[in-house]
Chains A and B, each alone.
Chain A
Amino acid sequence: MSQPLVAVDNLVRHYPSGRWPRGGPAVRAVNGVSFEIALGETLALVGESGSGKSTLARVLLRLEPRDGGTVRFDGTDIFGLDRRALAAFRRRMQIVFQDPSGALNPRMTVGAAVAEGMAIHRLGTPREHPARVAALLEEVGLDPALAARYPRALSGGQRQRVVIARALAVEPQFLVLDEPVSALDVSVQAQVLNLLLDLQRRRGLAYLYIAHDLAVVRQIAHRVAVMYLGRLVETGPTEAILAAPLHPYTQALVSAAPDPEPGARAARIVLSGDPPSPLAIPAGCAFHPRCFHPLRDGRCHTELPLLRSLGSGFVACHHADRPPQP
């Protein structure tokens, strides 16, 4: 692979907890995560609530500080940039959130919302903006006449298209997509997914796609990284991970995913217990209290398993070379 566009190395983000001045244990939201994304590629980051995936996305864009590790964008360490230089980099990376209604200013027309970033980053003259807005709206499948409307006049799916057009307005190379279709109706989800695939093909964008729905991930991602309590537990090509997951947690996720085919699923793995809190991450392998691997042993309680190369991907499990057979 040529030089990756985004290279994250051993990224750490801890939050203080408890009451001032004494404080409690740190919330270890992101705990040493590394991955790379190339232009034209989609990496899906999969995990449950509390896994740290949304924190990771925010740190990645330097929307909040890190406590360790580096993020390189096109070779440049973004935490080494001063404010001015960072502003220029910000143009190249954009984020799309789950709820398009919260992301749009209700008092701003669609056209003004899409043009705002162009003005901030001085892309084209104000005169050129209406034509550029029209072209962008068309590119995301909206009628350019909607530029004069306010967000409340639009449906959820149309609003998410506006948010995507606004992100594209500054000509980014990298989009963080944080559950972008989860709040949309089923019949509209497919429209937005198809649009994202289409835009990537046309513009060669790199995506970090944050999701909990593995069927959606299969549709959109080239590679998958599975996160559990602040660490990656398995990464690899999408088809390989979904067809033959090696980490017990990934196996449980694949098994629990709702599948619209009655009887298609083999024996279902139902994990006991809830995901533990990032305030009190279990020692050793963080997954050990919920693990069902027949070979799990004392080592899992004491020794942190590191990601190691296995098959076509990487797995952090002491017993990954003999995964449980569902």
Chain B
Amino acid sequence: MSALLEVHDLRVSFPAGSRRVQPVDGVGFSIARGETVALVGESGSGKSLTSLALLRLIPAPGRIEPGARLHLDGTDLLALEGEGLRRVRGRRIGMVFQDPMTSLNPVLSIGDQVAETIQAHVPINRAEAWRRAEALLGEVGLGDPAARARQYPHQLSGGMRQRVMIAIALAAEPELLIADEPTSALDVTVQAQILELLDRLRRARHLAVLLITHDLGVVADRADRVLVMYAGKIVEEAPTAALFATPAHPYTRGLLASLPRLRGPRQPLLAIPGNVPEAAQWPEGCRFRPRCPDAFGPCTGEPLLSTIGPARAARCWLHDPAATGGPR
């Protein structure tokens, strides 16, 4: 399987006083066409900055550190400037954010907004763009798209607005869709509809989808693979079923044990002690060490991401053959 997107050693830094902190600290992964990869993490893990970096949207004075490699089907995203960059943003990579209300223009009809996006990327006339916009609104599941196209964002519900955002993201027929918490602001019954829609579009258009979320429940049924992020680093990577069946990193195990369940015996929740640390306060060595129930001697040193099975890796000394004298 050849990768559509390849990310290697991505570091994003921001000034903090006299030094710089790196909220994204050496992230690497790849996504193939037709595949959904979930990037899971809590607030401050660096997951959203990672997605902004893919679009080269890191706001100054933040920057992507030299040494990173971002390739989209052979195109070096870090070498792009001006027009070339614009051709990738929104055209080859589509983006859907959490809050559809703030991403839509309140004074333009939704048909205008979709048509405008199409025209920005494809040289066609207004009437043709409008016709395509209506078709696209139909494809994302808006009933009576011809009438809906003439409506304004405030006339739509949250779920419908998110469908419009997805239509806009798809307007230029991207190869990669980045969805950052696309359902977190929506009601559960509407959440299910939007996730279903993303899945249908992925299959129909052979899209690569990067699903960014804090919600492991959302991931379970939707992603092919999961990347778990903690304190700027990917700490575990696994096919979805394997991750839930046998989580390897103590952080992943802790997250799963702390989640209330709908089925099975009701048990007390095993909370992870402490809080997610901020980038300026990341501890030396393994960054999860102060909260980890399994921490032992080697954990004061920096763990590497080691392969622990087919398509599986964990950044933990427990799984590092080099560590000696620890448990197991």
Contact = CB atoms under 8 A, between A and B. Distances in A.
A253 B188 contact: yes
B97 to A, nearest CB: 18
A60 B104 CA distance: 37
Contacts, number: 136
Contact of A191 (B191, B192, B271, B276): B271
Contacts of B42: 185-187
B68 to A, nearest CB: 27
A1 interface: no
B271 A194 contact: yes
Interface size class of B (residues with CB under 8 A): 35 or more
Interface string B196-233: 10000000000000000011111111000000000000
Interface string B244-285: 100000000011101111110010111111011000000000
Nearest to B223: A262
Given A218-B261, A274-B157, A274-B160, A258 B269 contact: no
Contacts of B261: 215, 218, 259-261
Interface stretch (A35-43, A80-88, A168-176, A263-271): A263-271
Give the interface centre of B43, B159, B217, B271 by most chain A CB atoms within 10 Å.
Answer: B271
Interface string A190-234: 110110010000000000000011111011000000000000000
B3 interface: no
Contacts of A271: 189, 192-193
30 contacts: A48-B188, A48-B190, A185-B214, A185-B276, A186-B215, A186-B255, A187-B272, A188-B272, A188-B276, A190-B260, A191-B271, A193-B260, A197-B268, A213-B188, A213-B260, A256-B191, A256-B192, A258-B191, A258-B220, A259-B261, A260-B217, A260-B219, A260-B259, A261-B244, A262-B221, A262-B240, A264-B220, A265-B221, A270-B192, A270-B196
Interface of B: 42-43, 157-160, 187-193, 196, 214-221, 240-241, 244, 254-256, 258-263, 266, 268-273, 275-276, 291
Given A185-B214, A274-B160, A275-B187, 5 more contacts: A188-B275, A216-B260, A256-B188, A259-B262, A262-B244
